[in-house]
Amino acid sequence: MGASQPLIRHRKIKRVFDLFFSGLGLITLWPVGLVIGLLIKLTDGGPIFYRQTRIGQFGRPFRIWKFRSMIVHADRLGGPLTQAGDPRITRVGRWLRQSKLDELPQLWNVFLGEMSFVGPRPELEMYVKHYTPAQRELLQFKPGLTDLATLLFRNEAALLRGTEDVEAFYLRYCLPRKLALNLEYVRRANLLGDLWVMAQTLCPYWFGVLIIYVLALVGSFWLAYELRADFCLTRQEYAACRHYAPEIVLPQLLLLFWGGQLRGMISYFSLPDMWRTAGALGLAVGLQGGLSQLSRSGLAPAPSLLLTDALLSLCLLCGVRLACRRLREHSRPSPAAGSNRVRRVAIIGTGLQATNLAENFNSSPAASRRVVAFFDDNPRTWHRRPYNIPVMGLPECLLNAEWRANIDEVIVALPEAPPARLREIQILLQSFPAKVTFAAAWPLAESQET
């Protein structure tokens, strides 16, 4: 009885939270909904909303609301799952799906108590029938607008791209991983955890990276002023620092973005990244210094201050990224110790061994291999870009036609994986039309080939 009290209290707090914020959202966001409805109506003249029966709490069916993102009668032209480039998705619908605004009408489902803001996403009955008894534990909880699986499978259409039998692939590989993530959530659900999931839903990874870069660049510019004033800034100098900060930081951010420094995972850093960062900041100094020399009306600070700021920015940005890399490396167990054409390599794994291999191959201009993609069992790494190499999804995605035709070698770098999983991957790749290497240790020369 005592063990259930925290869960009961959590559900009551969630209901009050859901009722208040769904009502607030419906009141404040109706102009957005009106614009979306007009766009849908004006583009193809069909209905604005799409309703579909899903299975909710305790296995009760309910009708979920969405803005229509596919052509009328799309269900007659294909199954409920969509791949990237599905022709049934309208132009407006593609934008709605990418921004997740097609889910906005579900605030009404939340207000009615059929859904919550955070909880396992409701599935179709045809998929719920495949749940195991353990997985049916999820039906004891109210479905939600977002959850861990929604975050990590947010580009599910891309995962299914090139799959010949979309539904079979989804049932065999995607659905079990989604349900495992949802079970992980419900077994430790609390309000702070829900708020964290919502924050990640509203603020994607790149936004967090952008905030870190802005703080680093603003901090460097302020420190440059402090150093020039021997840490005794006058009120006038402080006002000048505030005045110039946006004009200095914004071009730096744009040039760093242009150099690809905001796309990758911040905890992956190498010497080429440092040179790209230095190049972007150096170009910013050149542009701002030229403006300072040409201007007589104080449109830019003195060149000496710009140079000091650039050096401090480089040191701080590189220091932050190196610190993140060290934290990532220390958070993982330590791994165990012919043709002129560059071979396109896919690596299964994103651990230290896998990323060391990728950095080694891609940092050498003379290397005979070029890593083009990672695949990993851990959904938390999906859609990230270690060393600017995309993590495309689970290893089973390699079975899709797109990858079978564009990969020359697969390297399995999972030193900590259980033998049963390694054997499963070995069987999975037996029919793969390319060389498959199991990297047993670093360096790759000690690897074992299938």
The tens digit of pLDDT for each residue in 375-413 reads: 998 888 887 888 888 898 899 888 887 788 889 889 998
List 435's β-bridge partners, or say none: 409
At residue 446 the predicted structure's pLDDT band, cuts being 50, 70 and 90, is very low
Same domain, 260 and 184: no
pLDDT tens for each residue of 41-87: 998 888 999 999 999 999 999 999 999 999 888 888 887 888 777 88
Same domain, 104 and 86: yes
At residue 448 the predicted structure's pLDDT band, cuts being 50, 70 and 90, is very low
Same domain, 19 and 99: yes
Same domain, 25 and 124: yes
Q: Is residue 143 part of a domain?
A: yes
**Which one of 202, 220, 236 terminates a domain?**
202
Q: Is residue 338 part of a domain?
A: no
pLDDT of residue 340: 56
Q: Is residue 364 part of a domain?
A: yes
**Which one of 165, 184, 202 terminates a domain?**
202
Structural domain for 258, as ranges: 205-330
Q: Is residue 335 part of a domain?
A: no
Write down the H helix ranges in 59-155. Answer: 91-99, 106-112, 125-128, 148-152
At residue 444 the predicted structure's pLDDT band, cuts being 50, 70 and 90, is very low
CATH at 403: 3.40.50.720
Global pTM? 0.66
Say if residue 136's pLDDT is above 80: yes
pLDDT of residue 445: 37
Same domain, 326 and 435: no
> φ and ψ at 373, to 5 degrees?
-165, 150
- The C-alpha atoms of residue 444 and residue 411 are separated, in whole angstroms, by 9
Q: Is residue 393 part of a domain?
A: yes
Same domain, 414 and 280: no
Same domain, 11 and 130: yes
Same domain, 32 and 92: yes
List 160's β-bridge partners, or say none: none
Q: How many domains does the chain have?
A: 3
Q: Is residue 337 part of a domain?
A: no
Helix 205-228 vs helix 303-330: angle between axes, to the nearest 10 degrees?
140
Same domain, 130 and 273: no
- The C-alpha atoms of residue 47 and residue 42 are separated, in whole angstroms, by 10
Same domain, 223 and 347: no
Same domain, 92 and 53: yes
DSSP label at residue 70: B
Full strand arrangement of the beta sheet holding 435-438: 369-375, 343-348, 409-412, 435-438, 448-449
Q: Is residue 336 part of a domain?
A: no
Same domain, 183 and 324: no
Residue range 4-16: average pLDDT?
Answer: 79
Structure-token pair, residue 242: 């505030």
Lowest mean pLDDT of 35-44, 111-120, 372-381, 424-433, name the range: 424-433
DSSP label at residue 172: I
